[in-house]
Structure 1
């Protein structure tokens, strides 16, 4: 059919159906309003040339509703009213009243039809089965405003808690223009994570989807070869073997340097200084970033980008999203310049993450000059906010629980006393022996729940727990709901590291997922725990600290610290 054109996958096709309705060969004087012409048109001609409500399986379900509104309007108008169009003084040319009414009625009809169709389709997609209960909120914005209202607690965000109480553990909503099914149910979350790549794929809200390469064959959420490679290269540079062989002493040196520096500055906002420290260290290990000699402070760019996590993806000058996209472009350009410099001058290579990616370009086709910067950008982002927020919360909890600090100090001073040389560095065996420290780390990770949940996008319609998840919808797995479940963790928002003494491995495996689950479990989990543990080791053995001000925490829905947490560090004698 047709001249043999090819429509590429992913392209949009615009069907200009008005062209048939304004065809002069079918409708004489097509823009002349003439209702009597319909007396002479047969049904075959009408069916081929008149599609005001679309066609095919997508024909507007509200067609009859729209025609009824128009007919009722005309009935009431002509039986109860007369009307006159008033002339406007100074108007050179008046539009006949008949045409004015025609235009007005046409506009009303189009608006009613269009929005009726959109709202009906949005609220009730054609699926087999039933959607979870819930509210889709207002068109376009959905329930976004309720979602971003700060919750003044580390407990589950009020948006989730209120809907759990009203609808149950699984409900539907709409955020920043996207329909979402929210699950706080452990069994459903486990099922979905086990079927990544077949039923769902990694996804974020649309703002993040545009920040990262979440489209095309080399998208960073791919489940196949690309994902396996990303996990492999991350583990190669930040996994257990790398930590044992080389990273542990470097992490320790980095923490010693920064804590000594903070101790000379008076009170510091720990969220700000920790963010800079974590970013600079990770960026150095990935592509050799030298923060002291760099003109750009890249950690500031990442902070700005984070602020657009749930912003409407409107890339219009003047919006925060547009500014963040510009920051992203600048960051990617800098990363690409670094890549091209390494490619052109082998003497600048240093055996890091970037160099391995360059070597692997020979065997992995998806590793292009455009994709490698995207890869580095995503890994930096993943480590930057999660680690800095967790470390900052650690200070909040420690400053409010001096008994925990004392027990940590006892454990770590005992480690130092066992050394032949008290000034020697921390060893892997010492790290693995930190029993109470691990309880403190686990308790901090349990309560912190940095992201509001794990996001996945349905690849096709599927059913779970009696509900249907439509293809294209986002699924938000609220894993923090299990970590803050009062039936498992008594007084769940109370910081109590000792609770971990009484928890068995089965309970922990089902209710503690700080690094995600399934095939997407964070490859940097051990790296994060090592940094936290080493930080605590250096802190309690070498410094005392006092909270000067701040400490208010809220979820918006990600964790924010208001005016910060300002800590005064003092070196111990």
Structure 2
């Protein structure tokens, strides 16, 4: 009995020692608790609710019930949503090192793991500098005539009275601007091959990831492989020519990092596709909303037409090309673009993931959880933008308060192509209002998501060319 008792005592001491050591090695406990909120159904969380209603309604209801910090579960991920300018600055700027950009692996495979917006640290900063160099204001100044030519080409098929899908047309225009920015003037055959395979990748980007042959996702993966081969051939040819071009491809090819190393062909290809993805849907969405907002406000449309008509006439009735200085001197139109960015809030929130347990304002953001600053809520907060549901460009006659207007993000991961996006939108508006009248066909309300919000059915509209005798009265 004594032996059994001694054995039990040794075991007891052993487990007590283990428990003590475990307690000693445990991270200090925090008094912080999870934010209030609902996690919804198992696994899917509140994804269905989020995608089945206006995001303004979904997030505003959450904020009203729980406050500016609340939890939810979207796309299978536990999330902490942050709806204040201070929180956005905390996650994206001052404490950005505590949060990493994160995307589903299925989407990473289609774009490429080396793309800029999947990265952080030194590699990210090096890539970002290269992209910014190719999109400098001086580079954009030289692109104005080419962007204008692309806009005119995109509009060639408009104006015959047929109904077009505005969003699809704007996406095509944005894609062509992206190709121009990346490659300069690319061979027609290569551009068409890029376009064909890119659209296949794009169509499968938001499809359910699976290994079923013939599914949209698998077709997208195959198209991505073909894209890689096409880009490899373009890169190889550019290397042979040894040109010091200032387009994005030239910047990616001709720059070395601090260790004297150059990017691999795969890294270059991933970033080219990443730039196309970042630019196309978002800019196309904004331009579609601009068409709708101007259509819905005849008085504003008249003011924009008058401003653009003055430029049109100074260019000898459109016989001279737009200039960089003219695009920088469109005050009414520029405020329309800014208000469209605020109202539409194409990027509702950026995806960030806590790399450690983070305590913010007494709440815990656990390691591995998503931390998402709610740009949309901030942009629609009446404290910063009075009467936020009213489309009112004049509100931008005064600069917004810091961290309250972030259509292109903030911090080291802010969109480096924001000036390019605004430029192509301004060029498009100039030719839209000086050459066309249009009417929206079908329902003039409603939003669809794919995943970015666009007017219902891509805003079907009938465009008619203005008569030779220019009439700038609103229709």
Per the shorter chain, which TM-score range? 0.7 to 0.9
CA–CA distance in structure 2, aligned partners of residues 278 and 298 of structure 1: 16
Would you say the 8 A contact 1:276–1:299 is kept in 2? no
Q: Quote the RMSD (CA, aligned, Å).
A: 3.5
The answer as to whether partners of 1:157 and 1:555 remain within 8 angstroms in 2 is: no
In the other structure, the counterpart of 1:132 is 35
Partner of residue 11, structure 1 = none
Provide the residue aligned with 2:472 in structure 1. Answer: none
1:147-205 Cα offsets, whole Å, 9 max, x none, are: 22232xxx6151x2232222211111222232211111221111111135521122234
Instruction: Confirm or deny that 1:186 pairs with 2:85.
Output: yes
Q: Does structure 2 retain, via aligned residues, the 8 Å contact 1:552–1:564?
A: no
Distance 1:45 1:317 in 2: 57
Deviation string 1:205-243 (CA, Å, 9 cap, x unpaired) is: 45434445558xx87433333222222222222221111
2:377 is the counterpart of 1:481: yes
Alignment of 1:214-233 (within 5 A): 220-233=117-130
Q: For residue 421 of structure 2, what is the aligned residue in structure 1?
A: 528
Question: Could you say if the C-alpha distance between residues 235 and 464 of structure 1 is closer, same or farther in structure 2, counting changes exceeding 3 Å?
Answer: same
- Check the 8 A contact 1:239/1:523 in 2, yes or no: no
Distance 1:131 1:328, change over 3 A: farther
Cα distance in 2 for partners of 1:526, 1:262 equals 27
Change over 3 Å in CA distance of 1:222–1:566 after alignment to 2: closer
Could you tell me which of 452, 463, 472 is aligned with 1:569? 463
Task: Name the CA distance, whole Å, in 2 between partners of 1:399 and 1:248.
Answer: 26
Structure 1 unmatched ranges of 5 or more:
1-38, 51-55, 59-125
Distance 1:333 1:369 in 2: 10
Deviates more, 1:320-329 or 1:178-187: 320-329
Provide the C-alpha distance between the structure 1 equivalents of 2:50 and 2:123, rounded to a whole number of angstroms: 33
- From the superposition, tell whether residues 129 and 509 of structure 1 become closer, same or farther in structure 2 (CA, over 3 Å): closer
Q: Is the 8 A contact 1:550 1:564 kept in 2?
A: no
The aligned runs of 1:138-177 (5 Å cut-off) are 138-151=41-54, 156-158=56-58, 160-177=59-76
Measured at CA, do residues 284 and 531 of structure 1 come closer, stay the same or move farther in structure 2, by a change above 3 Å? closer
1:512/1:402 CA distance change after superposition, 3 Å: same
SS of equivalent to 1:570: strand
Give matches, 1:13-412, under 5 Å.
129-151=32-54, 156-158=56-58, 160-195=59-94, 197-213=96-112, 220-244=117-141, 246-264=142-160, 266-287=162-183, 289-290=186-187, 294-295=192-193, 297-308=196-207, 314-317=209-212, 321-343=217-239, 345-346=240-241, 352-360=247-255, 365=261, 367-412=263-308
Q: Could you say if the C-alpha distance between residues 439 and 44 of structure 1 is closer, same or farther in structure 2, counting changes exceeding 3 Å? A: same
Alignment partner of 2:339: what SS? helix
Q: Report the secondary structure of 1:399's partner residue.
A: helix
Partner of 1:511: 404
1:410-447: per-residue Cα shift (whole Å, max 9, x none)?
11122334457862222222222211111111111111
| Preserved contact between residue 88 and residue 403 of structure 2 (Cα < 8 Å) | no
Residue 552 of structure 1 and its aligned partner are, at CA, apart by 4.0
Structure 2: gaps (5+ residues): 16-20, 24-28, 469-475
Length-normalised TM-score, structure 2: 0.83
Q: Distance in 1 between matches of 2:203 and 2:317?
A: 44
- C-alpha contact (below 8 Å) 2:198/2:224 kept by paired residues: no
Deviation at 1:46, TM superposition (A): 8.7
Q: Is the 8 A contact 1:453 1:477 kept in 2?
A: yes
Q: CA deviation at 1:272?
A: 1.0
Match of 2:174, SS state, is helix
Give the drift of 1:386: 0.7
2:363 is the alignment partner of 1:467: yes
* Number of aligned residue pairs: 451
1:266 alignment partner, SS class = strand
Contact 2:197 2:227 in 1 (8 A): yes
Greater gyration radius: 1
Q: Could you tell me which residue of structure 1 aligns to residue 438 of structure 2?
A: 545
Q: What is the Cα deviation at residue 358 of structure 1?
A: 1.9
In the TM superposition, residue 355 of structure 1 has moved relative to its aligned partner by 2.8
Contact kept in structure 2, 1:214 and 1:220, CA below 8 Å: no
User: 1:131·1:468 contact (CA, 8 Å) conserved in 2?
Assistant: yes
Comparing 164-173 with 374-383, greater Cα deviation is found at 164-173
Match of residue 427 from structure 1: 323
Moved more, 455-464 or 226-235: 226-235
Query: Does the CA-based 8 Å contact 2:200-2:219 persist in structure 1?
Result: no
Residues 81-102 of structure 1, C-alpha deviations (whole Å, 9 max, x = no match): xxxxxxxxxxxxxxxxxxxxxx
How far did 1:366 drift?
6.3
TM-score relative to the length of structure 1: 0.70
Mapped to 1, the partners of 2:314 and 2:84 lie a distance apart of: 46
Q: CA deviation at 1:324?
A: 4.0
Q: CA deviation at 1:138?
A: 3.4
Flag the structure with more relative contact order, 1 or 2, with Cα contacts below 8 A and sequence separation at least 6. 2
The secondary structure found in structure 1 opposite 2:351 is strand
CA distance in 1, matches of 2:116, 2:323: 38
Q: Which residue of structure 2 lines up, in the alignment, with residue 121 of structure 1?
A: none
CA distance in 2, matches of 1:522, 1:269: 27
The whole-number CA distance in structure 2 between the counterparts of 1:524 and 1:233 is 12
- Structure 2 CA distance for aligned equivalents of residues 420 and 555 of structure 1: 41
In 2, Cα distance between equivalents of 1:301 and 1:551 = 29
